[in-house]
Amino acid sequence: MTDPILPGATLGVLGGGQLGRMFSLAARRMGYRVHVFVPQADSPAGQVSDHEERAAYDNLDALRHFAAGVDVVTFEFENVPAETAAAIADVVPVRPSGSLLHTTQHRRREKEALAAAGVPTVRFARVESEQDLAAGLERVGAPAVLKTAAWGYDGKGQERIEQPEDGLAAWDAIGRAPAVLEAFASFEREISVVGARGLDGSVALYDPFENLHANHILDVSLSPARVDPRTAERAHEIARTLLSTWSVVGVFCFEFFDLGDGELVVNEIAPRPHNSGHLTIEGNHCSQFEQQVRAVCGLPLGSTERLAPAAMANLLGELWADGAPDWAAACAVPGVHLHLYGKDEPRPGRKMGHVTAVAPTLDAAREHAERARAAVTRPAGTRPIVSAAPPA
């Protein structure tokens, strides 16, 4: 058993987005210092960290310099090159491992790893040529979804195929990039399980969250998910199996399609905290971000017990279309907590923040979260002129 990395140490984060920001806030509250490695200046994570190292992810000299100044490294999004994690691992521990990053940042490798672990997924086929596409459609059938193998998120790099003859047009639409063809799943709901595994092999799992999407982007998450106990236990069983089989050290999120009657298939995996788990900050004893700190530092994992029903609603760039949102109106809704990520350019579809509501019932929590989000839109001509980012 490796000795734990105790408060006072310095934690390194690859990536500077909102997940790194919330990790940094949790780590600093626990007494750690945080250094962030990111290509661009003034990142959301860098704004709240002790040091922001700015360099490209393939700058090996900068990576070694960064690694020499920290005690452990984790990552906050999976689009960090696996070679970057491998270079840092020569200097300090990387948790979760770079090999898991390599697997989960590529849909084909991820699907093949799930199949090898005996975990249920939709039927799938790799596509790297027209011949692969034709053979895949024959095996998988239609309707189906064609997804780029790498660098896809929030519905990007995906095309639906209604009939086999639509296959080539769909592949053209994603630039004929290497892809995965997946059978279209008719599901009742999407749920996710955030789980952590520590250095000692202990596992902690949050109750499943229910995820509601709009335009392929997560819109609202609910805790607990509206599923029966058998479905929740099956989701936990699969998550526990994968965390242990892959010897994870850190936090993972497992997204499932609930097909009904207790049948689940794994849709995607994130080797980090997840948007759907943001509500754990207010809704659970230990948030997913504190859990990430505990796991990568070798501390005992925290309690995942739910404090109250909770709902999270994303705040996308569209809310800035007519000027600065009315945050006071959102904060006036009972039980609502506002989180803004410090991003300076609101764009349609860009996640700028979220609100979480906790309440005695799940229906009330959802109503409060959605009401707070709706309340931020001011009547035309009444908005103050302020930046989307908080003052420095």
In 3D space, the residue among 208, 252, 238, 205 whose CA is nearest the CA of residue 74 turns out to be: 252
Q: What DSSP string describes 310-361? A: EEEEEEEGGGGTTSS--HHHHHTSTTEEEEE---S---TT-EEEEEEEE-SS
For residue 54, what are the β-bridge partners?
A: 38
Identify the CATH assignment for 123-183 out of 1.10.540.10, 3.30.1490.20, 3.40.50.300, 3.30.1360.120.
3.30.1490.20
> Residue 379 pLDDT more than 90?
no
Domain residues of the chain, as ranges? 10-94, 123-183, 189-375
Q: Do 240 and 203 touch, CB atoms closer than 8 A?
A: yes
Place of tokens 């790799």: 126
For residue 389, what pLDDT is reported? 37
> Residue 156 pLDDT more than 80?
no
Q: Do 354 and 314 touch, CB atoms closer than 8 A?
A: yes
In 3D space, the residue among 127, 120, 129 whose CA is nearest the CA of residue 159 turns out to be: 127
Question: pTM for this one?
Answer: 0.92
Identify the CATH assignment for 10-94 out of 1.10.150.120, 3.30.930.10, 3.40.50.20, 3.60.15.10.
3.40.50.20
Q: Fold identical between 123-183 and 189-375?
A: no
Q: How confident is the model at residue 106 (pLDDT cuts 50, 70, 90)?
A: confident
Q: Each residue of 117-128: b (16+ CB within 10 Å) or e?
A: eebebbbbbbbe
Indicate the fold that domain 189-375 takes in CATH: D-amino Acid Aminotransferase; Chain A, domain 1 (3.30.470)
For residue 154, what pLDDT is reported? 55
Interval 157-196: pLDDT, tens: 789 999 999 999 998 999 999 999 999 888 999 999 999 9
The pair of three-digit structure tokens given for residue 328, joined into one six-digit string: 């006071």
